[in-house]
Amino acid sequence: MKKYVVGASLWLLSMGLAAAQPMPLSQAIQLALQNNKGIKLADSRTLAAESRSQEAKDRSLPQANASLAYSRYSLTGPFALGQGSDGKPLLGIPAGAFNATIGGVTISKEVFGGFAEKSAEKSAQLLAKASRLDAQRNRSELVYTVTDAYYNIVKLIRSTTVIDQSIKQFDEKEREANNLLKEGIVTANEVLKIQLQKNNLQLSRLQVDKARQTALYNFNLLVGLPDDQQVTIDTTLTNPTTTVEPLGNFLAQAVQVRPEVQANALRLQSAEALLVNTKSAMYPHFGVSAGYNYINPSARLVPEAGSFISAWNVGAGLSYNIGSLYNMKGRMSTAKTAIDQASLQSQQQTDQIRSEVVTAYNNYQLALEQQNVIRTAVTQARENYRLTESRFRNGLVGSTDLLEADSFLLQAQLNVINATVDAQLAYQRLLRATGTNLN
């Protein structure tokens, strides 16, 4: 019995440890890619585009039709018109009725239709590929969105830690100030200023904590987790890899890799294929067919031998729409305009991507440079606070100077957190701009 109890206890302990383990960013991204509703919608659009491509292929297959019908014909009459030399009417319809069963099978295929089938199939295939690239672009955007949300939570958690440390320091300052007040070194007003600053920090702490709770709730929605599930974020901050590649390399890579560029190229080819499809109406169409016909003048589905007629037939047909000589101007203009629009959209998209890459590259370099400046500022703020605090204890400066030095130090510490997170996000924006953040 003890063995089972110990085993159950170890299992529960392991589950608790697993739940307490921080969720790495890579796991959050995978969850979002699997569960995000926007990605599922994009995949659904891709499936719809692939279905339309299959429909175009299906339309190029031979068409087959079969029919079987039963009819009962009632003759009107008797009716007679005129009379011949033999005494019989020249035209007569006898009274009565008869049954007929008629069936047939026909197979037809258009051999040449002005390249309409091939161009329609090609256009649909290209649009399906473009849709898959659109889904890839959505994945790239989602990866960055999850990364941005993840590091925003890291920023809030780390900021909370810094503020908590500052509040603890103010508790100590308040005790020291009260002791100095008893000794007559500082005034009651100096102690009040310290207490007021501590209250302001506590208010900031509440605001940051609420922002953290909201960010975690939205993060769960983003990655597809239950609203109330507790998620632990890895708050370890590391500097991103410092890139030494020139800007030109990133520009060339973005134009080659970005799914939007590839999708626009496919849409341009699709528009050109649709132009060919439109021109198909100006060509003669040639088709062939084969069929089998069955006529049985009785109600029986399977008649007696020799009491029915059956025949097979083959045929070929050539048709030409004479109206295409004068009524195609509007359709041709529309198809050519679609090509021009697709080309201009592709060029505009390329310019926008190049602008995004340049902006992301410069912001990334700026973020790295800012980190060095901010680290220096933290060192200076710590030294300034140390000297000011020493003077305050000796009664050489008032609490205003001490609070100002503490404010500088707190802001510098928060700036370090922000700068590190901003550098990470700037690097991720550069990856997204070049289309490589999915690799």
pLDDT tens digits for 226-241? 988 898 988 887 766 6
Please check whether residue 18 lies inside any domain of the structure: no
Q: Cα–Cα distance between 14 and 18 in angstroms, integer? A: 6
Please check whether residue 233 lies inside any domain of the structure: yes
Does residue 12 carry a pLDDT above 50? Answer: no
Please check whether residue 17 lies inside any domain of the structure: no
Does residue 433 carry a pLDDT above 80? Answer: yes
- Sign of the alpha-carbon dihedral angle for 328, 329, 330, 332: positive
Domain that holds residue 410: 23-61+113-284+323-434
- Within this chain, do residues 53 and 125 fall inside the same structural domain, yes or no? yes
Please check whether residue 315 lies inside any domain of the structure: yes
CATH number of the domain that 300 lies in? Answer: 2.20.200
At 87, the pLDDT band (50, 70, 90 cuts) reads: low
At 209, the pLDDT band (50, 70, 90 cuts) reads: very high
- The answer to whether 271 and 338 are in contact (CB under 8 A) is yes
- Within this chain, do residues 28 and 72 fall inside the same structural domain, yes or no? no
Please check whether residue 2 lies inside any domain of the structure: no
What confidence score (pLDDT) does residue 2 get? 44
Report the SS3 class of residue 91: strand
Residue pLDDT, tens place only, 278-288 = 888 888 989 99
Residue pLDDT, tens place only, 19-36 = 458 899 889 999 999 998
Q: Cα–Cα distance between 303 and 62 in angstroms, integer? A: 31
Beta carbons within 10 angstroms of residue 108's beta carbon: 15
- Within this chain, do residues 152 and 208 fall inside the same structural domain, yes or no? yes
What confidence score (pLDDT) does residue 114 get? 84
What confidence score (pLDDT) does residue 351 get? 94
- Within this chain, do residues 163 and 40 fall inside the same structural domain, yes or no? yes
Domain end marker among 273, 297, 319: 319
- Within this chain, do residues 175 and 209 fall inside the same structural domain, yes or no? yes
Please check whether residue 133 lies inside any domain of the structure: yes
- Within this chain, do residues 166 and 191 fall inside the same structural domain, yes or no? yes
- Within this chain, do residues 98 and 117 fall inside the same structural domain, yes or no? no
What confidence score (pLDDT) does residue 98 get? 67
Please check whether residue 362 lies inside any domain of the structure: yes
- Within this chain, do residues 101 and 205 fall inside the same structural domain, yes or no? no
Residue pLDDT, tens place only, 35-76 = 988 888 989 999 999 998 998 888 888 999 998 888 877 765
Residue pLDDT, tens place only, 325-348 = 888 899 999 999 999 999 999 999
CATH number of the domain that 376 lies in? Answer: 1.20.1600.10
Domain end marker among 319, 337, 365: 319
At 11, the pLDDT band (50, 70, 90 cuts) reads: very low
Contacts 24+ apart (CB under 8 A), 208-212: 208/156, 208/159, 208/160, 208/163, 209/160, 211/156, 212/153, 212/156, 212/157, 212/160
Distances (CA, A) of 272 to 119, 120, 123, 307: 9, 11, 8, 57
- Within this chain, do residues 170 and 311 fall inside the same structural domain, yes or no? no
Report the SS3 class of residue 61: coil
| Token couple for 304 | 């007696």
Q: pLDDT: is 266 or 194 the higher one?
A: 266
Does residue 270 carry a pLDDT above 90? Answer: yes
- Within this chain, do residues 293 and 214 fall inside the same structural domain, yes or no? no
In sequence order, the 6+-apart residues with CB closer than 8 A to the CB of 232 are: 20, 21, 22, 23
Domain end marker among 301, 319, 337: 319
- Within this chain, do residues 126 and 108 fall inside the same structural domain, yes or no? no
| Token couple for 342 | 């697709």
Please check whether residue 218 lies inside any domain of the structure: yes
- The answer to whether 291 and 158 are in contact (CB under 8 A) is no
How many distinct structural domains can be found in the chain?
A: 2
Residue pLDDT, tens place only, 384-425 = 988 988 888 887 888 788 888 888 888 899 998 889 899 889
What confidence score (pLDDT) does residue 91 get? 57
- Within this chain, do residues 164 and 298 fall inside the same structural domain, yes or no? no
DSSP annotation of 280: G
134 φ/ψ sector (left φ>0, alpha ψ -120 to 50, else beta): alpha
Query: What is the pTM for the complete model shown?
Result: 0.76
